[in-house]
Amino acid sequence: MLKVVRAASLTQTLMPHETADSPYVLGAASAEHDRLIRQAAIWNPFTERLFRDAGIGTGQRVLDIGSGVGDVAPLVARLVGPSAEVVGVERDPATIATARSRVAEAGLSNVTSKATSEASRSANSSTQ
């Protein structure tokens, strides 16, 4: 069964004048990446509790939309275990590069970071 946990909805965070192609309002500069990392260090225990309470656990496959520099996906990867999988989807290439390098540094083989365009290509190819 597919479980959907919405920590934050991207569509809900769009401002009235924004579309999916608009620049992301908080940007992707290194200061924003640093902010996300500091924020995760504070919130990770609460995020983990939310996911556990929502029933995320061993063996599940999880999709992390708007995955940023790779703080939430590794946390989930530890909850689901090495034989399961977490796919992070992110629109910004520099942000994905940072996430990939942090995931590699953490030695996690069950986390994949994809660009939104790559993610839509794999979704299309798996339905053909």
Ligand X SMILES: C[S@@+](CC[C@H](N)C(=O)[O-])C[C@H]1O[C@@H](n2cnc3c(N)ncnc32)[C@H](O)[C@@H]1O
Residue ranges in contact with ligand X by CB under 6 A: 10, 20, 24, 26, 28, 36, 40, 66-68, 71-72, 89-92, 95, 116
Structural tokens at position 47? 């995020």
**With respect to ligand X, which residue has the nearer C-beta, 85 or 92?**
92
**With respect to ligand X, which residue has the nearer C-beta, 11 or 83?**
11
**With respect to ligand X, which residue has the nearer C-beta, 15 or 20?**
20
Shortest CB 13 distance to ligand X, Å? 8
Q: What angle do CA 94, 33, 75 make, to 5 degrees?
A: 100
Q: What's the gap between Cα 91 and its chain centre?
A: 11
Interaxial angle between packed helices 72-80 and 30-53, expressed in degrees from 0 to 180 and rounded to the nearest 10: 30
Residue 67 amino acid letter:
S
Shortest CB 21 distance to ligand X, Å? 8
**With respect to ligand X, which residue has the nearer C-beta, 41 or 83?**
41
Shortest CB 105 distance to ligand X, Å? 16
Structural tokens at position 105? 């540094």
Residue 29 φ/ψ, nearest 5 degrees: -75, 165
Shortest CB 68 distance to ligand X, Å? 3
